[in-house]
Amino acid sequence: QVQLVESGGGFVQAGGSLRLSCVASTAIFRFNTMGWYRQAPGKQRELVARIDRAGSEDYADSVKGRFTISRDSAKSTVYLQMNSLKPDDTAVYSCSAVLITTDYWGQGTQVTVSS
């Protein structure tokens, strides 16, 4: 079974930075895509950033220029570097991975940005 474990969430003031980590139980090159989603209270879950096996990246318009997704295959880890954080970025951030037709999810890590 594939397992994804997130870490790095926390409390930060507006304008600050956090780096989220997602450690997979298998080599990450096996996944078609990996990504970060977030869900704020009362809102639907949305895609924040995605990276595919070729290293191509995709970002939500709301985070372009502020967030960067990256990977370290040797550590089976995908990162989300979040800079210039805003209160609207407050949400539970979850790591996801797609392997053929199956999608996997981590349990999420809370990010809270205060004004």
| Interatomic CA distance for residues 12 and 31, integer angstroms | 31
User: pLDDT tens digit string along 77-106?
Assistant: 999 999 999 999 999 999 999 998 899 999
**Confidence at 29, pLDDT banded by 50, 70, 90:** confident
DSSP 8-state symbol, 73: G
Task: Report the pLDDT value the prediction gives residue 49, as an integer from 0 to 100.
Answer: 98
User: pLDDT tens digit string along 30-73?
Assistant: 899 999 999 999 999 999 999 999 999 999 999 999 999 999 99
Task: Report the pLDDT value the prediction gives residue 73, as an integer from 0 to 100.
Answer: 93
> 22-49: buried (b, 16+ CB within 10 Å) or exposed (e) per residue?
bbbeeebeebeebbbbbeeeeeeeeebb
Task: Report the pLDDT value the prediction gives residue 1, as an integer from 0 to 100.
Answer: 80
